[in-house]
Amino acid sequence: MWRLDHVLYTARTLQVLACWQTLEADATSARDGLPNRACPSDHLPVGAAFAVAPPPVLPDEAARGLASRLVALTRTQVAERATLADELEAEQRKLAEELQPQAAAAPPPPTRAPPEEGAGPKAKSKAKAKAKGKGKAPPSEAEILLLRARRERERELKIAHREQRESFVSGLSELETDALEAWLEPAEWLERGQEARGIAVLLKDEVCY
């Protein structure tokens, strides 16, 4: 059974200058396998010498292009959220206007008698909470349906925006990913979008390269 150790490295910052030859240079081990009479271990020593280079960076022009794309996507999502909020608010106002005649015609809720004289603070607090709850009419079927539709539309937009951000990040090159990580935390941006830390600087076009 062949068991070989390896030296793993990245060519981004390391250049191989020399390395030990292992199995290829050991005819006995290549023929008989490991361990054998000459090598009692099931491993051969490995070693390498590297030249260290500074990590490559995204050119300034490409970095500015990446920042512009990131800002454009984020601002588009901000605008879409604002548009949805305006639409939902308009629907809420319209429904309130439609229900106003019904609310005006409805009989007033029954009043509750005040707590008896000498009642303790807990009884008074409980009576006050009940009176507050009784004074508010339960939501109508139309209001419940509107609330459900509102939550569903907000959820759908949130999912769509996250998918857009995931697609953006997955399409980045290695150097673009490095640049993005220098500006903000990608995982946080994927989750929170325009609310992520670091994005405010980009939105103000104050990126430093």
Asked if the structure places residue 136 within a domain, the reply is no
pLDDT top residue among 168 and 98: 168
- What pLDDT is stored for residue 121 in this prediction? 66
Asked if the structure places residue 41 within a domain, the reply is yes
On whether both 47 and 61 belong to a single domain, the answer is no
Asked if the structure places residue 149 within a domain, the reply is yes
pLDDT-derived band of residue 18, with 50, 70 and 90 as boundaries?
Answer: very high
Asked if the structure places residue 34 within a domain, the reply is yes
DSSP state of 171: T
pLDDT top residue among 6 and 187: 187
pTM above 0.75, yes or no: no
On whether both 72 and 40 belong to a single domain, the answer is no
pLDDT-derived band of residue 1, with 50, 70 and 90 as boundaries?
Answer: very low
Cα separation values, 194 from 77, 180, 186, Å: 8, 14, 12
DSSP class per residue in 71-134: HHHHHHHHHHHHHHHHHHHHHHHHHHHHHHHHHHHSPPPPPPPPPPTT--HHHHHHHHHHHHHH
The number of domains in the chain is 2
Tell me: pLDDT of 202 over 70. Answer: yes
121-161 confidence digits (pLDDT tens): 666 566 666 655 555 678 888 889 999 999 999 999 999 99
- What pLDDT is stored for residue 208 in this prediction? 45
First-last CA distance in the chain: 52
CA distance 77 to 161: 7
Asked if the structure places residue 89 within a domain, the reply is yes
On whether both 163 and 205 belong to a single domain, the answer is yes
Q: What is the mean pLDDT of the chain?
A: 84
Q: Is 33 left (phi over 0), alpha (psi -120 to 50) or beta?
A: left
Tell me the residue range of the domain where 188 lies: 57-103+142-209
Asked if the structure places residue 137 within a domain, the reply is no
On whether both 22 and 35 belong to a single domain, the answer is yes
- What pLDDT is stored for residue 140 in this prediction? 87
Tell me: pLDDT of 38 over 90. Answer: no
94-115 confidence digits (pLDDT tens): 998 888 876 666 666 555 556 5
On whether both 164 and 198 belong to a single domain, the answer is yes
- What pLDDT is stored for residue 132 in this prediction? 57
- What pLDDT is stored for residue 163 in this prediction? 97
Asked if the structure places residue 2 within a domain, the reply is no
User: If you average pLDDT over residues 46-65, what whole number do you get?
Assistant: 92
CA distance 164 to 81: 14
